[in-house]
Structure 1
C-alpha cells in the first residue's frame, strides 16, 4: 500500500477527530497497517484489567519514573462490551507509551496463555484509512450495476439486512430501489462550502447495491461511522450492540469496515459482540479490506477462526472485468469469497439538487499496487486536495457534480453484493436461516478464479455486467 495515500488520509481523519490523539501502527515493507489512539490500551473487565494495570504500573514506575496516577482506568468499569480503557503515561507530555506497555505485558500474557491487552484501534470504512478510490459521477440514464433483479418487496417475507456504516443521504428517496430502506440520515453531508464530505453517501451506495441484488429485502442503515468514516475500537462494540438492539438481531449484517492489527489476533473491543453474534442466527458479511495485503483484517478475518466461521463470511473484490481480484483487494486463506467490487454503479446523492464533490486524493500514473491492468488507481484522472506536492506544482483539485448515481470501487461494495445474494437466496428458497442460505449458496457456486496462486470461490449477481460491457451499452 502506498504510504503517500495513508499519510494523506491520516491527516484527514485527525482533523475530523481533533479530540483524539492518533498514531500510526508499525511499518512493514514501508506500509503502515493501522491507526490507533495514543496512550490508551484495552483490556477485558475484571481480573485481566487488574493484571494489566498492575503490570504496566510496576514496569513504568521502575523504568520510566512515572507515578501511579499515570496508569489509570477511564470511563465506566462495567459495560456490555466487557472492555476497560487504561490510559498510560503523563498526559502533559503527549508521548505515546502504548508500545512500551505492550512489551511490558508479554511475559504476563505468556503466563496467562492468552492475549491480555490490545491497542485501541481505529476502525474505518475506508479500510486502513486507504480508500480504493473515490466516487465518480455517471451520466443520467446509465443503469445501476448490478442492475435491479426481478422481484418485488413484500414486508411479510423480506429478508432483514442491517447496514452499519454512514447514514442515508437526505434525498435517498429519489432512488426508487431505496423506497423501502429505513434508518438514520447522515448529519452534515456537506461542508461549509456546500461540497459533499468524504464518505458521505457510502452507506447509501451500499444500500442501493443490496436493494438491486435482492429487491425483497428490508434494509436498515445505521449512521455509526459519520466522523470521517472512522470510530475507535473501544466505542465500536457498543455501537454495534446499539444497532442490533434498536431493531432486534437481523438476518444479515453488512459491514464494510475494519482494521488490521499488529499480530494475528482479533479485536478485544469486539469480543463480547462476536460472542453474542455466534449465539444468534445472524450472519455477518464483512469486507476484507483494500490494502492489497494478506494481513488479516478484522472483523472479516473472524471467518477463519473455527468458533466464528459459521457466523461470518469475509468478502474480497473482483476487478471490473470480473475475472481476477481487484488490485486493491485484500486476499489470503481468511477471505472466503470474492464478488464484483470495482466500478460498480449505485445511488449516491443529488437526486433533489446536484451536489459538488472535491476530490481528496490524486490518481497515480501507474497502479500503486503493481498491477498491469487499467485500474481505479489510475483512471479517471483527478487531482486531490490532500495530495502531496499539489501546492508546489500549482495543481488545483478537481471538482465534480453528483446528481443521483455514482461509480465506486472497494471491498466495501463487494460486501453488499454477497449480503444481497444470501438475502435473495433466503427469499427464493423460503429459507429463514441466513447461515444455512450462505452454506447452500457457496456449495452451489461453480465459478472460481485464481488469486495469488489459490483458487477462490466467486459469486456474481445475474444482473451484474463487466464495466466495459456497461460502457459499450450506454450511448455517448
Structure 2
C-alpha cells in the first residue's frame, strides 16, 4: 500500500465537510475514511437493537457515556438508514470502534451485520485518481479517439455519470455537444487556479462520447465537493439523480470506498436493491489502491445476485500490457480496460487556466512496479506533499486549455461503459445487461493481472502509449 498520498488528501476532504469530524481507518493501510462518533443502521427494529446494545456496552465501560447514544436526526425514509450518534461530538474522541465491538454479539445472534461506519465515498482513489492531469496540446487527438458513427437522437443510449459537474464551457469540445447535466459549482479558487478534481466529470463524459458517439450523456455533480460525500447522504443523492433524469440504460460511477468489515455499504442497500430490480447496468470503478480488498459499490459485481447488474472495472497500463500499478484487482474485478494516460477534455477550449499540482511524484513506484508508471512520470512537486516545507521546493504549475492526459480506474470505467453502449447501438439491443453478457461472451482479449489471465476490453480507437519517461509540458 501507499498511504502517503492518502494522508495528503485527508485534510483536503475534511475541509470540504465543515462541521463533520472525520477519521481514517484503524490502520494507515486501510484506505477508508469515516465520520467520527456516528454509525449507520437500518431503520426500524435493527436501529433499536443497535441503540440498546451500544448503550448497554457503554454503561459497562469506564469513560464512555451511554447518554450520548441517540438517533442523530429522523429516519431517512427511502434509503432505509438511520444515523446513530455514539459519542459526544464536542469531545473529539472517536467512539465508533467501541460501538462496533458492542454490536458483535448482537450481530452473531441476528445472523447478519446490523451496523457500519458512516464511510466517506470518494472519487476512486487513494482518495484521488491514479495521478493528476497533465496538459496535452489541442492538436493531439483524444485517446480513445472518436469511434466511427455519429449521434442519433432516436436510438441514443442513455448514460448517467455520477461525478463532479461539467465545466462551464464543455460544449466547446465537439464530442460533448449533446452532453447535459450539472455544472461544476466552483472551478477556480480566489487566485484563479483550477481546483483539484475539477474536470473529472467532464473528462469521463468525453471518454464516453468518444467510445460511444450515439449516447445521451447526463452528468450529475453529486461529488462536486472535493470528490467526496458521506455514505449516509450518498444513497439519497443517487435516488435524486435517477428521479431527475429517469433510470438510464447505464450508470457510470467512478467513486467508492473500502470498508472496515469488508462488506458492502449499508447506506446503499436500498439503492442497490432497486437497481437490481431495474434494467439499468451500473458500471463502477474498482479503485486505485493496488489492493484486492473489495471496493464498494464496484465489489457488488462479485456477489451472485448482482452479477448481471454491476460491472466492476480495473485499469490497464498505458501500453495495455497488464494492469496499471494503481489498479485494484481480485476475483470481484470483472474486467480491465485502458485507464492509464488516457486523453480527453478537462476544460473547455477557451481561456487557459492554471493548475497547481497537489502531489509530488515518487522516485520509485509507490506500489512496487518497475515500469515507468504515473507514480514517477511526468515529474512534478506537489503543494500537499510531505517534506516540501523542509526542502523549500515550490509546487509546479501548468496551464490547461482543453485536453489533458489522466490516469485511474475512474477513466477505465467510462471506457467499459462506452463499449456496452456501443454494443447496444451496433446491434440494436435495448437491454444493457444483455448487451454486457453478449459483449463479454464475444471477448477473447485478455490481460495478465497479478499472474492471472483476466478479460480485457480494449476499444478499437484506443492507442497504446509507450511507457517511457516524459517531462511535464511547459
TM-score, structure 2 as length reference: 0.97
Q: How do 1:303-382 residues align onto structure 2 when only pairs under 5 Å count? A: 303-382=301-380
What residue in structure 2 maps to residue 11 of structure 1?
11
Contact 2:288 2:326 in 1 (8 A): yes
Contact 1:163 1:220 in 2 (8 A): yes
Residues 442-469 of structure 1 show CA distances to partners (whole Å, capped at 9, x for unaligned) of 0000111111122100000000001139
Listed as ranges, the matches of 1:137-152 within 5 Å are 137-152=135-150
> 2: CA distance between counterparts of 1:127 and 1:58?
38
Q: In the alignment, is the contact (CA less than 8 A) between 2:317 and 2:323 conserved in 1?
A: yes
* Contiguous gaps of at least 5 residues in structure 2: none
Report if the CA contact (8 A) 1:35-1:128 is conserved.
no
Residue aligning to 1:169:
167
Paired residue secondary structure (2:466): helix
Asked whether the equivalents of residues 372 and 468 of structure 2 are also in contact (C-alpha less than 8 Å), the reply is no
Residues 6 and 32 in structure 1, CA contact (< 8 A), matched pair in contact too: no
Corresponding residue of 2:229: 231
- Please say if residues 291 and 329 of structure 1, whose CA atoms lie closer than 8 Å, have aligned partners that are also in contact: yes
| Per-residue deviation, 1:89 | 1.4
Following superposition, the deviation at residue 65 of structure 1 comes to 5.1
Describe the superposition over 1:170-208 as per-residue Cα deviations: whole angstroms up to 9, x where unpaired: 010110000000000011111111111100000000000
Under a length normalisation based on structure 1, what TM-score does the superposition of the two structures give? 0.97
Q: How does 1:449-460 map to 2 (within 5 A)?
A: 449-460=447-458
- Aligned partner of 1:407 in structure 2 is 405
Q: What stretches of structure 1 of length at least 5 have no aligned partner?
A: none
- Give matches, 1:51-70, under 5 Å: 51-64=49-62, 66-70=64-68
Superposition pairs of residues 263-274 of structure 1, within 5 angstroms: 263-274=261-272
Give 1:401-440 correspondences, 5 Å limit: 401-440=399-438
The alpha carbon displacement at 1:69 in A equals: 3.0
Give the secondary structure class of the aligned counterpart of 1:95: coil
Query: CA offset at residue 130 of structure 1?
Result: 4.1
Shift of 1:91: 2.3
User: Does the alignment pair 1:122 with 2:109?
Assistant: no
- Equivalent residue runs for 1:34-183 within 5 Å: 34-64=32-62, 66-183=64-181
Q: Deviations over 1:267-286 (max 9, x none)?
A: 00000000000000000000
Quote the offset at 1:136 in angstroms: 0.3
**CA apart distance, 1:44:** 0.2
The RMSD of aligned alpha carbons is 1.6
Change (3 A) 1:377 1:470: closer
Aligned length: 471
The answer to whether the 8 A contact 1:135-1:406 is kept is: yes
CA contact (8 A) 2:168 2:348 kept: no
What is the rounded CA distance, in whole Å, between the counterparts of 1:43 and 1:8 in structure 2? 31
Partner in structure 1 of residue 26 of structure 2: 26
Distance 1:35 1:470 in 2: 34
Q: State the match for 1:385 in structure 2.
A: 383
Between the aligned partners of 1:469 and 1:34, the Cα distance in structure 2 is: 30
Instruction: Find 1:461's aligned residue among 439, 459, 462.
Output: 459
Detail structure 1 runs of 4+ shifted over 4 Å in the superposition: 65-68, 469-472
